[in-house]
Structure 1
Amino acid sequence: MRLRKLFVALLFLVLFAVLLLTGTRWGLGLIVKGVNSFSGGAITVGSVEGRLATAYTLGNIHLETASADIDIETFQWAWHPLSLFRGELDIVFCKLSQLTVTLKVAGAAAEKETGAPALVALLPPLDLVLKELLLSDLQVRDMEGDLLFHLLSLSTKFEIKDGLVRVTRFNAESPDIGLEFHGNVARQKDWVADIMGNWRLAGYGFHPSRGAFSLKGAVDSLGVQVSLTDPGEIRVVGVVKDLFGKTTWSAGVDAQNINLEKWIYHCPEIILAKVHGDLTGDFGHYRGHVEADGFWGVADQLHLSSDLDGDGLGIVFATLGLGRKESYVVATGGSISWEKLFSWVADLEVTDFDLDMFFPGFDSVISSQLHSVGDVTEEGLDATFDLRSMQGRFADYVWSATGSIGLTEESVFSHDLRIESDSVGGVALVRGTEFSWENKLSWMADVDLTHFDPAFLHPMAAGDIKGNISSTFEWHNNIPIGEIRISRLAGTLGAKKLSGGGNIAVTGTALSTSGLLLSLGDSQLLVSGELEDSLALQFSFESPDLSDMGDQLRGELTVQGQLFGTRDAPEIGLTVVGENLQAGKEKIKTVQGHLKARLGSAASIDAALLLEDSLIHDFELEKVDVVVSGTALDHSATARLSRPDGELSFLVAGRYTDGWQATISQLALRTTRYGEWAQQDVVNLELSAERAGLQGLCLAAVTQGETGSVCLSGSLDRNEVHKWSVDAELIRLELQQFAEMNSGLPGITGRVDATLTAGGDSQGVIFANGNINIPEVDILFSVADADDVAIQVRESVLRANLQDQRLALDLSLTANKGGALNLNAQVQGIGKFASPLGGCPVEGTLILDKYYLSSLAVFSGYAVESTGWVSSTFVIGGTLGQPEINGEIAVQEGGIDLPYQGITLDNVVIAIDSKALGANIQAEASSGGGHLGIVGSIAHGKDGIEATLQLSGDDFLLVNLPEYSFRVTPDATLKVNKNRGGMKGRVYVSSGLIAPEELSGAVKVSEDVIFLGEEKVHVKKGYPFFLDLDVELGDDVKVDGYGLKGRLGGKLNVKITPADFITGKGELDLLDSTFTFYGRSLDIARGRILFTGGPIDNPGVDIRAQKVITAETARDDEYTVGVDINGLVQDLQSHLFSDPFMEDTDILSQMVVGHSFATSSEEEGNVLQAAATALGLAGSSRLMKGIGDLLLIDDLHLEGSTKDEDVSLVVGKRITKDLYIGYDMNMFSQLGQFRVRYELSRGFYVETRSSSESTGADLIYTFEK
């Protein structure tokens, strides 16, 4: 796992510089930013997605040329460059959308096609496969913005192979004509075509109609079939008989999914889902029956049925019915005729007509009877629509309407249309309303509102309004003259009192009002004056509480202004005062401002704005103070913005003649995070039709103790070639400021010097020179459970030179121990904006010269340490889009230490063989004389970068800690990606030692400190890792600890499940083992540890430990005593046994003290009680009663370690509350000592120990954490 991390770190170090620009979205974005900057505005790209090497998307592209401006909303490209090796150019797709060409040359126009192109044989040197070319919305406009040509879309997919043109798809769409087809054209004896396609044609009052066609056979005898396919699906199959005699015809019409809105101009959306008709006739007469099903808006399940009989003069509908569920419309006696010109007549009966079917959410039902008669004659039009009755329901309001609407050749009018709703309490009476075009356009209307409630418009608009709205207009020579009058407006709106009225007079473009006043609550708007050749308009808005205007508004606001002067030289004056303003989350505590401006030839401005304590788009500002004054020839502006963490201020002075020239001075930036920066010299700005320039922008750090400055200059000649240049410089800039910008960088200290000089034109970069020099830098890393560590790098230099489309890069840096890294690379064919970077060849070398690997400890949290160094050379090739790198790394004069495993990896060698699609790696290392080998690959997969490594070895020292040590021979496969990792295979443990006493892996606290009641720490789940290993123990795996000594053997399958449980399945056996219990050695007659697939830390145990007493030793018959331990580790059960039978007290006594319990002393009884407790036999009442009869003590316990042969039995008696006396005897050395402990206060106590060999005292302090 750690070797993989080492490899990944080295790989990314090598590939970072060459892959960053071409293989990442960030790199593409950086290149685009450079293009935007270097082109000086001639080329700009707004958004970037993807990679140059494979596929990418550019958005909001703007190109400026001498003859035209080109804007492209989206450009997408993808291709397979490897197909060139097959002699084939394979383009996946090329997509352009929203492309607008605005011509700059007068008289330019789009060329029109004069006919279909001639068919020629195509014999290109390479086979061509174009999978998708898509151009959407191409517009060509002239200098005035008029549309010259509009291509809605063009899409094609074709290939040319072996003289055969196979068009898989061709589609071209313009507003009037469309063509789509596919098929083959081949040259045999004659040209032979097999093409099927669709066509579209617009005009004649219809939306574009689409059809299908087919062309089959030889070109001079081509079969053609045509049908209409859109809108909907219409197919007409008919027979024409006796074409040159008495011709008759019959036809069947079938249609599906016809949208009349898309077929007929000004028709609402009516969908005929299915239509069938049978018609017969001749050239003068036809008859038949038509049935149709469809929907109108959301009105589904509509059914139309009609019998019709027509000729050249009209159509009579014997019956015409339209129904939907319970709603229906029936027309009787209906006909249309064009005998005179055009006339119609119909009686309509509407029953329960639900408007919701056409206007979703519009809860209204109408029933009505009306009669309509109309004639269009040479004298004009005369039609009436009589509403005999109409009743309806809108939401919960019932309403009715009566009246009539008249229509003539010159006007449409109504004099008696009354709409009312008693349930709402409102009436609208429309009287004297007419729109006429007889001699001149004129309009008149008079509407009275009574108890009108506009709540149906919006719940917040609920109220009770009455008033009158009237208007009269006439158009004289296309000049409107008239007046709109609002009078007697009164009532409530949104629980606020509403009142007002006024008039607006219109004469052409002149407006005037004697006074327009609207009051809502305490807020008031007043407008008066005129806008004619001379301007004299006053307006004011006063609101002591903006909540009158809406629930989201708060505060007090007053706005007063006037518009005066003339139309050629208008002037405006405005003052604004507000307090505690709020609109949603946006807040301004106070605002004050004024504006006095004059437009025209003598333009001038005098304005000021002051905001205090504002919050705008979550951006907090304590104060904004802006002042602008002057004329076009001499103007200036000052600005000061302050926040809790800093302040920005500057002064701009300028003049405008043929262009704008300005200077920026007194620019100062003061922040608590980045220090203080001040402008060094005056900055000159220039912007005109011919040139744009910026000179002398330099900001220098002025904070005490900090240095550094940033300078920028540039120019753009806006001529035909758009030459540009840029100069930038960083001087002694503190690197620490980059780490403080929340950029995710570690803490860095040091200074950087950098220069950049570049120039070019609209086609690309012609030359560029750049240098970055960092004399020394310290990178501070935070390491868990340790002090921060600094990595030092000295003399870092990057040089770049671009000339003649060749970029040379030279990077060198020196580490703190003298090791060096050098990168030398050249990229060919770079610099042109139109050339893709992904295909540019790259070659170079990366050299590591005695580069020490000590920094690995920091990156790994000291899990990996190294004192060695590497000297390696990597060869770089390929292209920027698909780079290649090859080389080998060997660690010299040291190894790689893994302190958490207690081993050192020696003879570490890593070889990398990289290709365009991935890399092959080989690695070797030794540990403890054993060997480990890794062979694998790294490639791009569905989850990003994926690595597959095969691990093999022989007698490899994997772990070497005091508590355990293992040598292994692995044969496993490791697979990792960004989402998960896993290992599967086999591991043979040839030898090992398990000696658990106090496991390492954490910093130990002094033995004098005791923690009481420590809580568990819950660790958040991290990177998911899956394990499936078959582990086999060899003959030399030993265990020695807790009195157990012997060999361990067996096989075990270890898994890590998706729930992060470590499980085991198999069996481990204790072989040739003994167990020392209170100084007495017991033989392990049976020792099995069983794993059944559950958690590995809770296996089953079946152990028998026994002692055989020979007849000679027993001075009697031979007997055996011992203990059986069974159950799960977390719930073990112990049982004493003997052969022949003995009481438990005698069995325990024979095991521990070596003789019968009957002859045991009081001191031995203490030992037996402790032994019974250790074996879990304290719950045996008979056993504990027998032992307890020997004792009269308060305390009995064991101390020490069996491994170190330092186990002591401690017995004691508390004499008083604070005084304790005890005696302990070492079970191995048989040395005894007395101890006396006296409790002081506040956690302190004194303890003395005295024996035949030594005497001592300790002062001990206890505390809880």
Structure 2
Amino acid sequence: ELDSRGPATLEGSGRLSGLPAEPAVEADITGRVAGWPGVPADVEDLVLSLSGRPDEWRAESSARVTGDEIPPGQWSLELSGSTRSLAIESLDARLLDGRVSGSGQLDWSESAPASRARLQLDGLDLTPLYPQWPNQGRISGQLAVATEAGAIDIESLDLRADPGDLSVTGSGTIDPAGDSVDVTLEWQQFAWPPVTDDAEPIVSSESGRIHLTGRISDWRAQVEAMMDSPRTPAARIEAEASGSREAADIRRLNIDAGEHGSLALNGRITWLPTMSADVDLALDSFDPGVFVGQLPGRIDGRAAIRLTRDEHWRLELGLDELEGRLRGQPLRGSGRLSWVDDRPEAADVSLQLGDNRIAVNNRETAAWQVELEAVSLEQLWPTLEGEARLEGGLQPEAGRLELTGGVDGLRYRDYNLEQADVDLRLTWLDRPSVKLAISGRNLDLRPWDRVDQLELTLDGTCEQHRLELNASGARGNIDLAAGGELGECLEGGLEWRGEVERLYLGETLAGDWRLAGAMPLTLSGRRVRAGSACLTTAADTPARLCLEELDLGESGRVVTRIERVPMDLLLLPIDPVFSLTTPLSGRVEAAWEAAGLSRLDGQLQLDSGVLKAIGDDQELLAIDSLRLDLQPGEDVPLTVGLQASLEGETTISGNARVADLRNLAETTLEGEARINLPDIAAFAHLVPRVDRIAGSAIGRVELTGPVTNPSVSGRLALEDGEIVHAPLGLDVRAIELELSGSADRAALSGRAESGDGELALTGQARLLEEGWRVDSTIEGKQFAFAGADWLELTASPRVTLEARPDEVRIDGDIRIDRLRGGLPPGTADKIEPSPDVEVRGETEDGEASAVAARREIRGRLGIDLGDDASLETESFRTELAGALELVWNGPPKPEGRGTIRLPDGSYRAYGQNLEIGGGEIIFTGRAIDDPRLDIRAVRDIFGDPEIESAGVHIAGSARNPEIELYTDPPTSQEKALAYVVTGSDFDHAGGQGALNVGFYLLPKLFVSYGVGLFETGNVLSGRYELSRHWGVRVVSGERDTGVDLSYTVNN
């Protein structure tokens, strides 16, 4: 019998017989292996069966395997073998929503063992491994490998993605004993991960081929590939190399990006008997954007790289010339740099990009001079702004560095720093020491979190140093001091030991807090340990936030104790918009292993208090008490219990059974909420654009089942409710709503009053196999939907709505009892952005349509305008009549059928008031926003025997209307304009409307040129003044040419 506890929790039984001549075993084992040191996976639900003799045995196993770096999956394995061979009869893994299967065998009976293996991939979804790329194809393929007499034979490699064009194939042989190699790898449309949209993958190549052939002692390699990415230009890579067991000669490595330039590299790399390299690099009009999309440009350059190792590592870099443009800025640079082991030896380097310059040299002194002047950081990187300056000296032999500088107007994404100064003194040889001072002001960590002043100092040696931080901001002040020692200073295996001597948090929403005593602290590798310490306050009701134990690492433990701590202090890091005045008390213990959380224990309790919006004294919700219990158990790792008493007689109770702390999706819920809120008015803060809500809420809700798909049942009701929205003049009162339901059905009923009318709502919902189906009806009579100065709307609707997972059906009619429409205040003065302005994060119309189009809309909605409807704006007024039917046939935008008449109105155009009579807006089954127009705005003409009226006729499509001036009886366009604007003709003799531009050539000679407004043509004229009264005018045009003699009576 087997029974073990610990990382390996196993149970089972077995039998060993036939000893000692012919031993045989039969065993069956179940259990789990979790948290085993050094093993990055947990094995759950393990079932193992083993039987047979050493020369003929068989094993079967199945288990669920999970881990931080491997996807969870169900694995099964069937093995058989003897003392001379092993056969994997079946390998099957269900993971990544796909399958991995395989088989193989290993035979070590001969002097050189042989093996064969085959692996099959089917429909693997890599999205959980690369969640940043949500749209990926599924990976399928196979790999077959065999070995014999020390030679490795890759029989086939085939990898593909569906959907997608990814294809990777390969084959080859590697024979160390025979001194031969022949391997080929080819691919088409390679992208990893295999994205199916325009997202940029980690690596992308249109096509490529790698061929390695020859002897291992004298091999040759060729590489051809086309690299491609949505954000970088395409580039062709070609490489040829040859070599032996000791070295490689790179004959050529070219990256040709076409119009984006090229990069070439050649040289020799040796790894036996010692490491060395001698490589030359050349750039010809090369665009770095091929590799880094944020750095487009054109660069020419030559560089030599030399690497040697004897007693020391030595690297020499010679930058012979570097020039071109980068990110639209001129680039220049040159210099030499040498490095020995872990320290620089000599340098003379200068780089300049636009207005930014950095120089490092030690030409005249042993000390290196470092100078950075970056007056336009935005020229260096797209998300950087501001200025930076830095200067100082570096003495490598003495192990000393001195730098002073600062930044002004620094901005990176949402982080801003108005100004900061830096002063650094660093030594690292005999007795390493540091003296650092940073002071800054107006640091915006996030758009809503500003630090007004910041002072940071670090001073001391490895054996003894001190850190101080002082910062003040809108959310409070912090004063921190710590000191300690750094063991094995700068020698690797660092361990810092010290203590936080002072910590003060002042002027927070929760008052002033300070550290009661020094807190021991140790940092070693990836582990952090802290001793017990408490934050306390000097308020009338003393509170304490204590850390009893902290051990952070791959595995660890933390224990905290809380004594009447205001929730506002604990919520401070998330910048809440609400204030919770209830104090929190309790104790929580948590432990974890490499695989995840392993233990959670404790209880938390909130005393009485209120929830309210910050900056507003109105209470949103009163909290009498709340208690949360975390209890580890024998049958389940954790049971979470909740008991809460809220405003009125509202209570919430329930528990959650967490079956696996590392997989919360397996949690089951069981809870109940009894709601009795006498007044919900305070919750208006939670409803956008609503000025006031009122009413009382009562109900009971039960929640049961798995956390991923819980079952909800119960009843909720709103009584004597009210909603007020001032901009629309909406005042809905006497609201009665009731929602009841169970796991697979729900019912909704309600009524409300507004104006002199009322509205009723009923609905039923059922859970079908394909999803929820909702049937609802809205009926109303003279219900006031708006009552503002610019909009009054009273209507009587009768509408039914059927909603399914894939379709929505609408049927009904709305009668308009009263409509007085206009424009909202300020609309006339609104300034629209320029068409070329793009708003980051704004949803494109196509994206919105795609989201809406996932569910089809079908049905009709009739609208009867009745006999009391009108529309009025600053320059337009009309009565409205008629009817319109909206029809949906799938897309969310409906079609329109019907006619809206404009029986009487006025329209102000060309500075005149024109009367509207008999206009029509005609909907003929086209899109609702593209009806046909037939509107005439007319004015009567008096005193002209030929013309009775003149006006504007708007006709055609609403998207592309035709606007025409006309008269009755008809005349020319220019005369129609004259009649509309002035009520009479400009020139009864028949002139031509034109735009004239002229000037005086001589004091008495005026020349002008005119272009027709309504007809094509132009006119050239000249006028000469013979005397004060007499003048002559010459005209030449396409219609008329002549000479006029004029006499002026009054000049």
Q: TM-score, normalising length from structure 1?
A: 0.43
Q: Compared with structure 1, are the counterparts of its residues 650 and 707 closer, same or farther at alpha carbon in structure 2 (3 Å cutoff)?
A: farther
Shift in Å, 1:135: 8.3
Counterpart Cα distance in 1 of 2:220 and 2:90: 47
Partner residue in 1 for 2:603: 769
Aligned to 2:257: none
Q: Does 1:925 align with 2:925?
A: no
Give the structure 1 partner of residue 546 of structure 2: 711
1:867 to 674, 694, 698: 694
Distance 1:628 1:1131, change over 3 A: same
Unaligned 5+ residue runs, structure 2? Answer: 1-5, 9-31, 93-100, 120-144, 157-168, 187-207, 226-236, 244-248, 254-264, 284-300, 321-333, 350-364, 373-379, 381-388, 413-419, 446-450, 489-494, 634-638, 909-913, 941-947, 990-1051
- Other-structure match for 2:183: 271
Deviation of residue 1096 (structure 1)? Answer: 3.7
Contact 2:582 2:606 in 1 (8 A): no
- 1:668 is aligned to 2:503: yes
Which digits, 9 at most, give the CA deviation of each residue in 1:130-152, with x for residues without a partner?
7x8568999xxxxxxxxxxxxx9
Alignment match, 2:934: 1101
Number of residue equivalences: 715
Provide the residue aligned with 2:466 in structure 1.
638
Q: Report SS of the residue matched to 2:37.
A: strand
Matched residue SS, 1:929: strand
Relative CO higher for 1 or 2, CA cutoff 8 Å, sep ≥ 6? Answer: 1
Q: Which residue of 2 aligns with 1:904?
A: 732
Counterparts of 2:540 and 2:895, CA distance in 1: 60
Letter in 1 for 2:621: V
Contact 1:798/1:811, CA 8 A, preserved across alignment? yes
1:723, 1:354 → 2: CA distance?
Answer: 52
Give the structure 1 partner of residue 395 of structure 2.
558
| 2:741 is equivalent to residue 913 of structure 1 | yes
Deviation at 1:800, TM superposition (A): 2.0
Distance (Å, rounded) in 2 between the aligned partners of 1:1085 and 1:297: 77
Matched, 1:210 2:210: no
Distance 1:651 1:113, change over 3 A: farther
Q: How does 1:501-900 map to 2 (within 5 A)?
A: 520=346, 543-545=367-369, 555-559=392-396, 576-580=400-404, 590-593=423-426, 608-613=433-438, 623-627=456-460, 638-641=466-469, 648-651=480-483, 664=499, 666-669=501-504, 677-683=513-519, 696-700=532-536, 709-714=544-549, 726-729=559-562, 731-733=564-566, 735=568, 738-739=571-572, 741=573, 743=574, 745-748=576-579, 750=581, 752-758=583-589, 765=599, 768-773=602-607, 775-780=609-614, 791-795=619-623, 797-803=625-631, 805=633, 806-814=639-647, 819=648, 821-828=650-657, 830=658, 838-839=665-666, 841-863=668-690, 865-897=692-724, 900=728
Can you list the C-alpha shifts for 1:448-502, whole angstroms capped at 9, x where unaligned?
Answer: x9xx98646998763999xxx999xxxxxxxxxxx9999xx9998867689999x
Task: Determine which of 63, 66, 71 is the counterpart of 2:39.
Answer: 71
**Does the Cα contact within 8 Å between 2:785 and 2:795 map onto a contact in 1?**
yes
Q: What is the alpha-carbon distance in structure 2 between the residues aligned to residue 710 and residue 1085 of structure 1?
A: 78
**C-alpha contact 2:786 2:794 (8 A) present in aligned 1:** yes
Asked if the contact 1:63/1:70 (under 8 Å) is kept, the reply is no
Work out whether residues 630 and 641 of structure 2, in 8 Å CA contact, stay in contact via their aligned partners in 1. yes
Look at both structures and tell me which one has the larger radius of gyration over its CA atoms.
Answer: 1
Q: In structure 1, give the amino acid aligned to 2:650.
A: L
**Cα distance change, pair 895–1076 in 1 and its aligned pair in 2 (3 A):** same
Deviation at 1:592, TM superposition (A): 2.9
User: In 2 relative to 1, CA 851–484 (structure 1 residues): closer, same or farther, beyond 3 Å?
Assistant: closer
Q: Which amino acid aligns with 1:1181?
A: S
Instruction: Give the drift of 1:882.
Output: 3.7
- Does the 8 A contact of 2:422 with 2:439 survive in 1? yes
1:1048 aligned residue: 881
**CA–CA separation in structure 1 for the residues paired with 2:220 and 2:795:** 85
Q: Distance in 1 between matches of 2:102 and 2:309?
A: 62
- 1:1089 match: 921
Partner letter of residue 1089 of structure 1? I
Q: What does residue 1038 of structure 1 align with?
A: 868
1:1181 aligns with 2:984: yes
Q: Is the 8 A contact 1:681 1:696 kept in 2?
A: no
Letter in 2 for 1:794: A
Counterparts of 1:1116-1155 in structure 2, within 5 Å, are: 1127=955
> 2:153 — aligned with what?
231
Shift of 1:745: 3.0
Aligned to 1:20: none
CA separation of 1:717/1:271 partners in 2, compared to 1, >3 Å: closer, same or farther?
closer
Deviations 1:206-239 (A, max 9, x none): 78631689xxxxxxxxxxxx999982449xxxxx
Q: Is the 8 A contact 1:990 1:1037 kept in 2?
A: no
Cα distance in 1, alignment partners of residues 696 and 173 from structure 2: 80
Aligned-pair CA distance for 1:823:
0.7
* Residues 680-701 of structure 1 deviation map (CA, whole Å, 9 limit, x = unaligned): 124467999xx99965411246
CA distance 1:363–1:1085, shift in 2 (3 Å): closer
**What runs of 5+ residues in structure 1 fail to find an aligned partner?**
1-40, 44-60, 78-90, 96-109, 123-129, 139-151, 159-168, 185-194, 214-225, 235-255, 275-295, 303-321, 323-328, 330-347, 367-391, 397-423, 436-442, 472-482, 505-515, 524-540, 562-574, 598-605, 631-635, 782-787, 1005-1010, 1108-1119, 1145-1171, 1187-1265
Conserved in 1, the CA contact under 8 Å of 2:52 and 2:58? Answer: no
Q: Does 1:259 align with 2:175?
A: no
Counterpart in 2 of 1:988? 813
> What is the distance in 2 between the residues matched to 1:1085 and 1:948?
48
Does the 8 A contact of 1:1054 with 1:1062 survive in 2? yes
How far residue 846 of structure 1 moved from its aligned partner, in angstroms, is: 0.4
Contact 1:1086 1:1104 in 2 (8 A): no
Rounded to whole Å, the distance in 1 between the matches of 2:238 and 2:906 is 89
Identity %: 11
Instruction: Spell out the pairing of 1:996-1075 with structure 2 (5 A cutoff).
Output: 996=821, 998=822, 1002=825, 1015-1016=831-832, 1030-1034=860-864, 1036=866, 1038-1039=868-869, 1048-1053=881-886, 1064-1068=896-900
Distance 2:444 2:178 in 1: 47
Find out whether 1:969 has 2:794 as its counterpart: no
Quick one: distance in 2 between partners of 1:297 and 1:1134? 71
1:839/1:1177 CA distance change after superposition, 3 Å? same
Residues of 1 paired with 2:645 and 2:522: CA distance? 40
In 2: Cα distance, 1:208 partner to 1:822 partner: 71
TM-score, with structure 2 as normaliser? 0.51
Instruction: Check if 1:462 corresponds to 2:304.
Output: yes
What code does the residue aligned with 2:183 have?
I
Deviation at residue 849 of structure 1 after TM alignment: 0.9
* CA–CA distance in structure 2, aligned partners of residues 841 and 555 of structure 1: 63
Q: Which amino acid aligns with 1:995?
A: R
Counterpart for residue 164 of structure 2: none
Kindly indicate which of the two structures has a greater share of residues assigned to helix: 1
Q: Deviation per CA, 1:533-561: give whole Å up to 9, x if none.
A: xxxxxxxx95423699xx99985212457
SS in 2 for 1:1181: coil
**Corresponding letter in the other structure for 2:400:** V
Q: Is the 8 A contact 2:51 2:57 kept in 1?
A: no
Q: Secondary structure at the match of 2:681?
A: coil
Residue-by-residue CA offset, 1:923-949 (whole Å, 9 max, x unaligned): 4334433422233469999xxxx9864
Q: Distance in 2 between matches of 1:179 and 1:811?
A: 60
State whether residues 900 and 921 of structure 2, in contact with CA within 8 Å, keep that contact through their aligned partners in structure 1. Answer: yes
1:986 maps to amino acid: D
Answer yes or no: is the 8 Å Cα contact 2:146–2:153 preserved in 1. Answer: no
Output the CA distance in 2 between the equivalents of 1:609 and 1:747. Answer: 43
* Alpha-carbon RMSD: 7.4
